[in-house]
Amino acid sequence: MSRHSLTALRHLPPALLLAMLISAVATTAARADAHLPDSSEIWKWWVPDPLAIIVFGGLGYLYYRGLKDWKKRSRPHGRWKVASFYAGLLLMLASLVSPLDPLSDQLFLMHMIQHVIIRAIGPILIILGAPVTPVLRGLPIELRIGLIAPLVSNSKLRKAYSIFQHPVLMPGLFVAVLFFWALPEFHDAAVENLWLHYVMHLSMTSTGLLFWWLIIDPKPHRSKVHYGPRILIMGLTLFPNTVLGAIITFSEAVQYKAYGADRLWGLTQLDDQKGGALIQWFIVDMMALATAIVIFAMWYQKEREDDRRRIRKRLRARSREAESENSDLT
């Protein structure tokens, strides 16, 4: 192993392990001492989560540092991409440390808002920010050479990545995770157990990022799936989300029983359940439709670029033919 690899590995794991330990202890202690706030105190009920702060804060800093270092850019990186990336980061962080997180233990509706953010809205905004180049450029040179380069060139990791970017497997996994945590026994268990709750959020965030990564295709990443099949994939994943949302919305029985007995804002358990299902149903569907429109626009732009490229190629060919004819005449 090179000196750069040893330097990179010596600093990363202890920091991550320490962050995870502090995060678990702090979050557990905060929830153990927490009491259900009244409506006038909800805004004070923030949950310390050092791991979330370190991860999202670190990504934000690397993105800023990378853009600052990226002087001679090979492609445009508009301000809207920067705004989209930071909006996604802030939403993801806020969903985990703001009062929304403890409220998600009390109301199904709030839990669904959190899930929509971490598996759809946040990942979409982050990926639209085209984070690969800025984040990699923001890393110290030792990490880029000693850790990232060997990982990127590792054949086993590249094969694993290609599997998780499979146009059938990844959408299937995205939908499977949604349905798994929608099962009342697993959902209630995750609400009642902090560590299982972490697994729930990690699985939703990771599959959300990988799925939208396959669909949105930010530069310099290039998906192997053509724009047409991507729209088909969107439709196929939209349907089960709609079906699940409709089933829970129109159910007249309380499916999720792990939420607080003392109801905030006078919501009954059934109203809470219906409201959460509607949020999951409509917001995710709307985000999917908006993404499909973006894909159509990208497809149209690429076709125009390809047409212009073909026209320039034909003009160059005709110019060469004309020059060849002139030379023959002379």
For 207-256, the DSSP string reads HHHHHHHHHH--TT---SS-HHHHHHHHHHHHHHHHHHHHHHHT--S---
What pLDDT is recorded for position 86? Answer: 96
Which of 81-95, 121-135, 158-172, 175-189 has the weakest average pLDDT? 158-172
Q: Where are the domains of the chain?
A: 3-34+42-329
The type of residue at 259 is Y
Tell me the torsion sign for CA atoms 297, 213, 236, 80. Answer: negative
Average pLDDT over residues 101-117: 91
Tell me the torsion sign for CA atoms 23, 26, 32, 38. Answer: negative
For residue 260, which of 172, 188, 155, 181 has the smallest C-alpha distance? 188
C-alpha angle 74-78-81 in degrees, rounded to nearest 5: 110
Long-range pairs of 218-221 with CB within 8 A, sequence gap ≥ 24: 218/127, 218/128, 218/129, 218/130, 218/131, 218/132, 219/75, 219/130, 219/132, 219/133, 220/75, 220/132, 220/133, 221/132
What pLDDT is recorded for position 324? Answer: 67
The type of residue at 94 is A
Which of 121-130, 140-149, 196-205, 237-246 has the weakest average pLDDT? 140-149
247 near 274, Cβ under 8 Å? no
Tokens of 118: 């971490």
pLDDT of 322 > 70? The answer is no
Give residue-wise pLDDT tens across range 52-100.
Answer: 888 999 999 999 999 988 877 777 788 999 999 999 999 999 999 998 9
Rama region for 130: left / alpha / beta (φ>0; ψ in -120 to 50; rest)? left
Residue 221 backbone phi and psi in degrees, to 5: -65, 140
Confidence category of residue 268, pLDDT binned at 50, 70, 90: confident
C-alpha angle 221-223-229 in degrees, rounded to nearest 5: 155
What pLDDT is recorded for position 201? Answer: 94
Quickly tell me which residue has 């007249």 as its tokens: 252
The type of residue at 154 is N
For residue 119, which of 228, 36, 206, 16 has the smallest C-alpha distance? 206
Give residue-wise pLDDT tens across range 174-208.
Answer: 999 999 999 999 999 999 898 899 899 999 999 99
What pLDDT is recorded for position 310? Answer: 80
C-alpha angle 115-119-124 in degrees, rounded to nearest 5: 135
